[in-house]
Amino acid sequence: MKNQVQLITYVDRLGGRLDGQDLQRLRRLLGPGGALGEVFGGVHLLPFFHAIDGADAGFDPIDHTQVDPRLGSWNDIKDLTDNLDVMGDVIVNHMSSSSPQFLDYSARGDASPYAGLFLTLDAVFPEGATEADLLAVYRPRPGLPVQMATLKNGQKKLLWTTFTAAQIDIAVHHPQGRAYLLSILQTFADKGIRMVRLDAVGYAIKKAGASCFMMPETFAFIDEFAAQARSLGIEVLVEIHAYYRRQIEIAARVDWVYDFALPPLVLHAFFFAQSGPLQQWIAQRPCNALTVLDTHDGIGIIDIGADASDRVGQPGLVPPAELDALVERIHSNSGGESRQATGAAASNLDLYQVNCTFYDALGRDDVRYLLARALQFFLPGVPQVYYVGLLAGHNDMELLARSGVGRDINRHYYDEGEIASELQRPVVQQLILLIRLRNSHPAFAGEFSSEATSPQDLTLRWQAGAQQATLHVNFATLAHELSHTDASGQLQSLQFH
């Protein structure tokens, strides 16, 4: 993976028209001569599979090995890899209830060759499940992990559905499950994709009497899957929202993890004018991390809170009262818009996230926003910038009202004219300048250090021989300095306004 900033985007929401040319259009936008030409070293394409408009914005694929023809073809993906590293999602936990495999199972029931592919309650609890067993299962959303379904052949089943009724969990160790996942990896490798993100992998293994989330058996599955991917020349990113110490443990066993603690900690630093919790995390965070401030999901809260699964009680990176106040500050900064998209206010519930654009979470303050991005880029790891964040996007209340899905507040559809207009905003131009600096300056391949000279200050520094880059931020006054050497070794300064 290149040590350069990557873009995270939906193909159809960044200048898309759903006319079969969207992937080609994206390639022109990001390629030489495009409006974002040579800004990014790579791009994470959020689900582009058939179909992109199911129950969960493409995360419930009908056919995980087919590009949605409204976006383009595998040849278009291959063309995109000529200039950029491309990451794709492998959705390991489930597939669509409209998939050919599930339709065959529904029609033929236990006589279907895919009968063992889909998890039922009995498959996990052959001796039966007690109330305590079901309550012990870790849930990302309200409700039980199973749904009653009547198959087309008349059979009734209790199907395991971690997320929605349209996303049927698969048995990853069943021969059909293994073949299914390997076919995805092989297709990706053949088409030039060299990085994959394991979506929802923390829930992939189920075990009677356990939490069914990030168990030893889950780690063993990740190890096995990553080995398969590496044999095909593919690196693996694991997506886990969990207590911060679990994230450190996970990072020691995988290629890449997300630094999901960073977004709320950066907000905390600005909201409370203190660097302590952020600096505490910097001192222990894994370096094989993709740093993010925003993604297609909400702003994680569980990642810096106390360990909810520990009966003894393990404290988080910030006290509970400050965590609650952080959430309320986001709601206040967004004029209450995030409250309308979070928790019980919207469907597709996420118990551990606040749905809001990062720009709106900071009250549309350009200086704070650019400093937040500078902090992200200066930390060890590979930065990713979400397409809405790239354009310092606002909450899309119209889309939220149409869909009723909380996360859609941060999933705006930009047309080409809108992109051209947003790229002229000073905050966006300064962000792109910062991305180019992060991608090209040799200091970022050197040694990293950090220090907090006061409770309100933080300094991050990179040094590679005579080349250096330094960021200093005072979270109380917003006084800041970003300095770096130029080609002749002279110090240059960049100020945000």
Q: Which residues are catalytic?
A: 199, 239
Gap between the Cα atoms of 90 and 222, Å rounded = 12
Distances (CA, A) of 380 to 163, 364, 366, 446: 33, 26, 24, 10
Please check if 297 is assigned to a binding site. Answer: yes
352 is in an annotated binding site: yes
> Does 495 count as an annotated binding residue?
no
End-to-end CA distance of the chain: 32
Strand partners, 49: 67
Q: What is the Cα 136 distance to its own chain's centre? A: 26
197 is in an annotated binding site: yes
How many C-alpha atoms does 110 have within 13 Å on its Cβ side?
Answer: 5
Is there a binding annotation on residue 436? no
- Rg of the chain taking only CA atoms, in angstroms: 23
Q: What is the DSSP string of 124-137?
A: H-TT---HHHHHTS
94 assigned binding-site residue: yes
The answer to whether 296 is annotated as binding is yes
Residue 451 marked as a ligand binder: no
Listed in sequence order, the residues at least 6 apart from 59 whose beta carbon sits closer than 8 Å to its beta carbon are 47, 89, 91, 163, 167, 199, 200
Q: Is 475 helix (H, G, I), strand (E, B) or coil?
A: coil
Cα dihedral: 50, 53, 58, 63 (round 10): -20
Q: Which of 322, 450, 310, 311 shows the shortest CA–CA distance to 380?
A: 450
How many Cβ atoms from other residues are within 10 Å of residue 450's Cβ? 17
Structure tokens belonging to residue 265: 């900690």
**DSSP readout, 48-108?**
-EE-TTSTTTTSS-SEEEEE-TTT--HHHHHHHTTTSEEEEEEE-SEEETTSHHHHHHHHH
Flag whether 359 is marked binding: no
C-alpha atoms less than 13 angstroms from C-alpha of 112 in its C-beta half-sphere:
21
Report yes or no: 1 and 197 within 8 Å, Cβ to Cβ. no
84 annotated as a binding-site residue: no
Binding residues: 56, 94, 197-199, 239, 296-297, 350-353, 407
Binding-site positions for substrate: 56, 94, 197-199, 239, 296-297, 350-353, 407
